[in-house]
């Protein structure tokens, strides 16, 4: 990283550009939301491209999920040079390097206004840092990085620019596969590593070199990836994954019944496919483990040198992650509610047996008690499964603070903007999501600046882009948090 110490810092996250490149989002309300998202983001970038504080240029950190590779569903074209396999014919382009490069190109064309403003921001002498998130681990591919830099360079300086101008522009764009860190100032990480439904076992190498059926290397899919590819994208008119991630067992049951008999048959088929695929992922990851672990640790050592952080600290930081459910078969099946199905089947069986064989009033009491016990156990399991990602992230900050020196720790991922004063005196920020449907929570960002003379303590603030300007974020009552440990 060549970030200069005098730069002020902007942090935004979870833009989810390209999320509209999947089935079921072409409705009028979503398109209006998309137009507003683009318009406000372009205005934000235009403002900060030339408006500096105390004469210092900006470092814009896009903290993960800039491009929503995970949600994009593009069918391979007949003239496409990518050799599409059976999976891609059914589910769209996969998660390999060349497929991801083509997805990115499509996203840039789709949102060219936004990328044009990003190019102008960099051309004005500012820096752009892209931190990898769980929706865009594809930014670890070298060709995907080059594609973005080349497009931005072309939009900013043009195809006829000198090599010196293009090189100077390109040097102001960098990629962080795990976190962005400036000692004694700020630590920025997307946060998906602390969410077992979205984490990767090897964050510095989330790609497996041998995939199912002898295919080429591709992203080792999380349970969220698999759910989107094999289930959500196949039900574009009836299933919204942004809502469904908060559903309990009963919510899914009510939704299933509402689909009718034919719909239930289709749901059962797609659900069976999803279960098969995730078990396959679990099996595949076990056999690709040694090679991926070696690459991950090699890159960790290189990162230790780059950031001048002791290797043992990086190893300890890496160990804070929550192991992805794709590495634990029972955890995987529990995520898909199979444990609840088995528990329900056992409860129904016990209730039936007791109703038939027990004497007198026990024929009623025992079955009812059995089903009530099932309901209570199910609710306990739901609470464990549905722990909000914002809680998981907040609880990780104290441990991170013991390993890095930074008065500001910034996450994204949870889509819940918040500023929390920690007992240590540091501040935890979550940038939320720029693309929130809720106008009270959208367009949030973090600004970190130094005093006028550069000698005083840095100042960090959670802000919101409104009415053409950046304003202090006024958190609704439901996002207000007490101080965390």
- In whole angstroms, give the CA distance from residue 92 to residue 95: 10
Q: Is the pLDDT of residue 243 over 90?
A: no
Give 161 or 394, the one with higher predicted confidence.
Answer: 394
Q: Look at residue 431 and tell me whether its pLDDT is greater than 80.
A: yes
- Token pair 């593009």: residue: 74
What pLDDT is stored for residue 110 in this prediction? Answer: 93
Examine the pLDDT at 193 and tell me if it is beyond 50: yes
Q: What percent of the chain has pLDDT over 90?
A: 48
For the chain, how many residues are written? Answer: 485
Two structure tokens written together for 124: 């004005």
Per-residue CA distances from 421 to 262, 371, 381 (Å): 52, 45, 31
Reading phi first (left if > 0) and then psi (alpha if -120 to 50, else beta), residue 158 is in left
Confidence of residue 480 (pLDDT cuts 50, 70, 90): very low
For residue 312, the model assigns a pLDDT of 94
Q: Mean pLDDT, to the nearest integer, of 23-45?
A: 83
**pLDDT score recorded for residue 483:** 36
Q: Which pLDDT belongs to residue 124?
A: 94
Q: Given a cut of 90, is residue 141 above it in pLDDT?
A: yes
Q: Look at phi and psi of residue 98 and say left if phi exceeds 0, alpha if psi is from -120 to 50, else beta.
A: alpha
pLDDT at 51: 92
pLDDT band at 452 (very low <50, low <70, confident <90, very high): low
State how beta strands 408-411 and 186-189 pair: parallel
Matching residue, tokens 């024929």 = 363
The β-bridge relationship of strands 459-466 and 444-449 is antiparallel
Rounded distance, CA 43 to CA 116, Å? 12
Separation between Cα atoms, residue 461 and residue 447, nearest integer Å: 5
Query: Global pTM?
Result: 0.88
d(CA 287, CA 33): 43
pLDDT score at 79: 53
Query: Residue 211 has what pLDDT?
Result: 47
Is residue 3 predicted with pLDDT exceeding 60?
Answer: no
Q: Hey, which bits of 240-375 come out as E strands?
A: none
How far apart, in Å, are the Cα atoms of 17 and each of 27, 34, 46, 92, 223?
17, 9, 18, 18, 21
Residue 301 binned pLDDT confidence (cut-offs 50, 70, 90)? very high
Give one DSSP letter per residue of 77-122, joined into a string: PTT-SS---HHHHHH-S-SSHHHHHHHHHHHHHHTHHHHHHHHHHH
Cα–Cα distance list, 2 to 69, 173, 306, 481 (Å): 27, 10, 10, 35
pLDDT band at 485 (very low <50, low <70, confident <90, very high): very low
pLDDT at 82 over 60: no
């Amino acid at each position: 990283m060549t970030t200069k110490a005098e730069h002020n810092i902007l942090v935004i996250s979870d833009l989810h550009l390209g999320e509209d490149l999947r089935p079921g989002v072409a409705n009028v309300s979503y398109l209006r939301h998309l137009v507003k998202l683009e318009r406000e983001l372009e205005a934000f970038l235009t403002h900060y491209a030339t408006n500096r504080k105390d004469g210092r240029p900006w470092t814009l950190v896009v903290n993960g999920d800039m491009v929503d590779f995970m949600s994009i569903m593009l069918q391979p074209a007949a003239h496409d040079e990518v050799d599409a396999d059976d999976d891609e014919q059914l589910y769209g382009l996969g998660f390999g390097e060349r497929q991801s490069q083509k997805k990115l190109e499509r996203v840039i064309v789709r949102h060219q206004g936004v990328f044009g403003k990003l190019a102008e921001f960099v051309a004005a002498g500012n820096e752009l840092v892209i931190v990898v998130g769980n929706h865009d681990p594809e930014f670890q591919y070298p060709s995907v990085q080059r594609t973005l830099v080349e497009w931005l360079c072309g939009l900013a300086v043009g195809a006829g620019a000198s090599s010196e101008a293009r090189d100077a522009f390109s040097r102001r764009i960098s990629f962080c596969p795990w976190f962005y860190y400036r000692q004694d100032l700020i630590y920025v990480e997307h946060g998906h590593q602390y969410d077992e439904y979205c984490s990767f076992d090897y964050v510095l190498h989330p790609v497996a070199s041998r995939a199912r059926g002898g295919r080429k290397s591709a992203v080792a899919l999380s349970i969220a990836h698999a759910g989107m590819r094999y289930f959500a994208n196949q039900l574009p008119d009836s299933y919204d994954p942004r809502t469904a991630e908060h559903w309990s067992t009963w919510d899914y049951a009510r939704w299933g019944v509402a689909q009718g008999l034919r719909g239930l048959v289709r749901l059962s088929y797609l659900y069976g496919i999803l279960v098969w695929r995730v078990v396959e992922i679990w099996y595949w990851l076990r056999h690709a483990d040694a090679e991926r672990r070696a690459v991950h640790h090699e890159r960790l050592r290189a990162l230790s040198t780059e950031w001048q952080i002791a290797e043992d600290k990086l190893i300890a930081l890496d160990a804070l992650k929550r192991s992805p459910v794709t590495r634990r078969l029972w955890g995987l099946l529990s995520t898909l509610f199979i444990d609840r199905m088995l528990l329900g089947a056992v409860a129904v069986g016990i209730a039936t047996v007791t109703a038939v064989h027990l004497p007198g009033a026990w024929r009623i009491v025992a079955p009812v008690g059995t089903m009530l016990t099932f309901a209570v156990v199910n609710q306990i399991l739901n609470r464990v499964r549905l722990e909000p990602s914002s809680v998981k992230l907040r609880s990780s900050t104290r441990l991170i603070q013991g390993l890095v020196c930074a008065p500001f720790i910034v996450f994204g991922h949870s889509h819940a903007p918040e500023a929390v004063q920690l007992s240590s005196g540091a501040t935890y920020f979550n940038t939320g999501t720029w693309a929130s449907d809720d106008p009270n929570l959208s367009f949030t960002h973090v600004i970190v600046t130094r005093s006028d003379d550069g000698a005083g303590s840095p100042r960090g603030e959670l802000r919101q882009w409104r009415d053409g300007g950046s304003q202090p974020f006024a958190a609704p009552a439901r996002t207000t948090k007490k101080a965390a440990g």
